[in-house]
């Protein structure tokens, strides 16, 4: 109640003290902060590298380590867990460093993006290279995976925080975020297509196990993907295909960074002085002490975890359990194409019915298809249909988290008008909790496959492996989604509060503009 009275008091006072020309100043302010389509597209393209590389790693790294690099499942689980956990730790660390970075003529975020790109590209390429030695192979993948995650964080955290500095208008930021999410989902399609199609054309045949020796050798050869009329694809061909795919993705990464640098102008913060830099743990206390932020983080901690479990194990599920060893890359592509096509629909839906409603409807829509894919008999056409329908819900997981986060930061600024310059902290801790949880989940899922008796490149797997994969792509994600949506019920920022925050922040900016004008006129008189 006190907060509402304070808001009304502030609003009334600001209305009384505004000069007659304040409407004109507001219109000028809005016009100055309006972004062109070219600006929005350039900004959106900058988000593609994170999704392209993340999609390639998320869908294919596990199967690459197990079947191509032939790392023991136990050590593969260590690589995946430590890599994701390290990635999670680097997010708040980089966010803390970015928040203390000085302003340069290129901005405060852009130098981080530009300087991290070349090394990130090199380390990404080396992840997909099989070294010519066996003893230290695990160290090789762990080192370059962690190095790439660190360098990509140096790109993505400043890029995410850049949302708050391309415009001070909430409407323009929301529009730019919609562009960004569309391009990022296209990035996932591109990552899936490049990695999947190039690798799929050089998919080495599986290796029959002790229980896979039928009496008819022709059946054995067909089940292993070997055809007498076609050249036999060796494991070396598959290794080369992974390197070619990574080279193409590296080139796209560099091009996107160049477009972002030349197409987006970072705006300096408002004339309000920035708050004093705070320590790492003070930053945690600051952002997690804001109730709406803590609730939003928990919501997408669970829902993102659900989709990451699905993403990390779906390729293995399609190739091992469903038996679509030569089609899984096309199934993944259908999911991402579907998600791309429905992004504009969800953008319209959230503006019409609100963001909380969009999260509920979109996330729950994927649950029936998670159940169907494990309950129905293995059928390629049905799997394609289910995958397309599942992509409709996956789109929500891409769009909504990044669309709701600026609302939380605006809410924080309204309640703490004297605490500024912490945008990078909010974005970095937001990513931290999601990535840490995904590291735990991916490590545990790969470790559970080891316990179930997973056979590298095996033409068939034990029944325990099939059961484990069904749990990892259906039962566990559904449980996590339900928990996340229960927490969302208590998320306090509805459309009314969001619009109220927007008006209050606009009044603050108008007052600052008026103060600057008065100060300039006074200086001229003196």
Give the DSSP letter string of 108-137: SSHHHHHHHHHHHHHHHHHHT---S-STTH
Q: How far is CA 67 from CA 29, 37, 211, 226, 239, in A?
A: 57, 44, 19, 17, 10
pLDDT of residue 300: 82
Q: What's the mean per-residue pLDDT of the chain?
A: 77
Read off the pLDDT of residues 12-66 as tens digits, 9 standing for 90 and up. 333 334 444 445 544 544 455 577 888 888 898 998 998 899 888 877 888 888 8
Is the pLDDT reported for residue 95 higher than 50?
yes
Read off the pLDDT of residues 352-409 as tens digits, 9 standing for 90 and up. 888 888 889 988 888 888 888 888 777 788 888 878 877 887 778 767 777 788 888 8
Measured distance CA(20)–CA(9) in Å, rounded: 20
Range ranked top by mean pLDDT from 87-91, 235-239, 396-400? 235-239
Mean pLDDT of 82-97: 81
Measured distance CA(345)–CA(488) in Å, rounded: 22
Helix, strand, coil content of the chain in percent (nearest 5): 75, 0, 20
Mean pLDDT of 335-363: 85
Q: What is the pTM of this model?
A: 0.67
Read off the pLDDT of residues 195-221 as tens digits, 9 standing for 90 and up. 888 887 766 666 665 555 544 444 444
Q: Provide the 3-class DSSP secondary structure of residue 418.
A: coil
Q: What is the dihedral of CA 355, 301, 363, 497, to 10 degrees?
A: -10
User: For residue 104, what are the β-bridge partners?
Assistant: 107
Q: Provide the 3-class DSSP secondary structure of residue 408.
A: helix
Instruction: Name the least confident of 88-97, 164-173, 203-212, 236-245.
Output: 203-212
Q: 56 and 191 in contact (C-beta within 8 Å)?
A: yes
User: For residue 370, what are the β-bridge partners?
Assistant: none
Q: Which domains does the chain have, with CATH numbers?
A: 35-209+234-267 (1.20.1250.20), 279-493 (1.20.1250.20)
């Amino acid at each position: 109640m006190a907060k509402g009275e304070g808001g009304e008091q502030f609003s009334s006072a600001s209305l009384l003290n505004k000069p007659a020309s304040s409407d004109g100043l507001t219109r000028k302010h809005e016009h100055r902060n309006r972004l062109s389509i070219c600006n929005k597209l350039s900004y959106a393209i900058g988000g593609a590298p994170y999704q392209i590389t993340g999609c390639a790693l998320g869908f294919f790294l596990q199967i690459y380590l197990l079947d191509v690099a032939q790392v023991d499942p136990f050590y593969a689980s260590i690589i995946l867990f430590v890599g994701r956990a390290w990635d999670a730790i680097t997010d708040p660390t980089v966010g803390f460093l970015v928040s203390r970075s000085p302003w340069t003529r290129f901005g405060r975020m852009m130098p981080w993006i530009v300087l991290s790109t070349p090394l990130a590209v090199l380390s990404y390429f080396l992840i997909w290279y099989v070294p010519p030695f066996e003893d230290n192979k695990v160290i090789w993948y762990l080192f370059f995976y962690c190095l790439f995650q660190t360098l990509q964080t140096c790109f993505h955290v400043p890029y995410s925080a850049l949302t708050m500095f391309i415009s001070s208008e909430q409407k323009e930021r929301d529009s730019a975020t919609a562009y960004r999410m569309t391009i990022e989902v296209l990035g996932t399609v591109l990552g899936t297509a490049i990695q999947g199609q190039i690798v799929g054309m050089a998919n080495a045949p599986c290796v029959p196990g002790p229980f896979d020796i039928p009496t008819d050798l022709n059946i054995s050869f067909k089940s292993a993907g070997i055809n007498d009329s076609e050249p036999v694809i060796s494991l070396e061909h598959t290794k080369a295909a992974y390197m070619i795919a990574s080279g193409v993705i590296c080139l796209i990464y560099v091009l996107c960074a160049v477009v972002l640098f030349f197409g987006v102008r970072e705006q300096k913060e408002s004339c309000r002085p920035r708050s004093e830099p705070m320590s790492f743990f003070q930053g945690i206390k600051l952002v997690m002490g804001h109730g709406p932020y803590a609730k939003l983080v928990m919501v997408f901690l669970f829902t993102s975890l659900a989709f990451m479990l699905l993403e990390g194990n779906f390729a293995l599920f399609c190739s091992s359990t469903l038996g679509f060893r030569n089609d899984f890359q096309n199934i993944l592509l259908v999911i991402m194409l579907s998600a791309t096509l429905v992004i504009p629909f969800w953008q319209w839906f959230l503006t019409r019915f609100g963001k909380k409603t969009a999260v509920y409807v979109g996330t729950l829509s994927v649950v029936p298809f998670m159940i169907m894919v494990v309950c129905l008999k293995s059928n390629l056409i049905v799997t394609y249909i289910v995958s397309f329908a599942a992509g409709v819900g996956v789109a929500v997981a891409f769009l909504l988290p990044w669309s709701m986060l600026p609302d939380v930061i605006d809410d924080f600024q309204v309640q703490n008008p004297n605490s500024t310059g912490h945008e990078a902290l909010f974005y970095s801790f937001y990513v931290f909790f999601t990535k840490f949880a995904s590291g735990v989940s991916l490590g545990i899922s790969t470790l559970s496959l080891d316990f179930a008796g997973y056979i590298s490149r095996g033409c068939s797997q034990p029944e325990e492996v099939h059961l484990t994969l069904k749990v990892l792509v259906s039962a566990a994600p559904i449980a996590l989604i339900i928990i996340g949506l229960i927490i969302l019920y208590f998320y306090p920022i509805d459309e009314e509060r969001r619009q109220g925050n927007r008006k209050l922040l606009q009044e603050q900016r108008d007052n600052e503009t008026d103060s600057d004008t008065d100060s300039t006129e006074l200086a001229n008189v003196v």
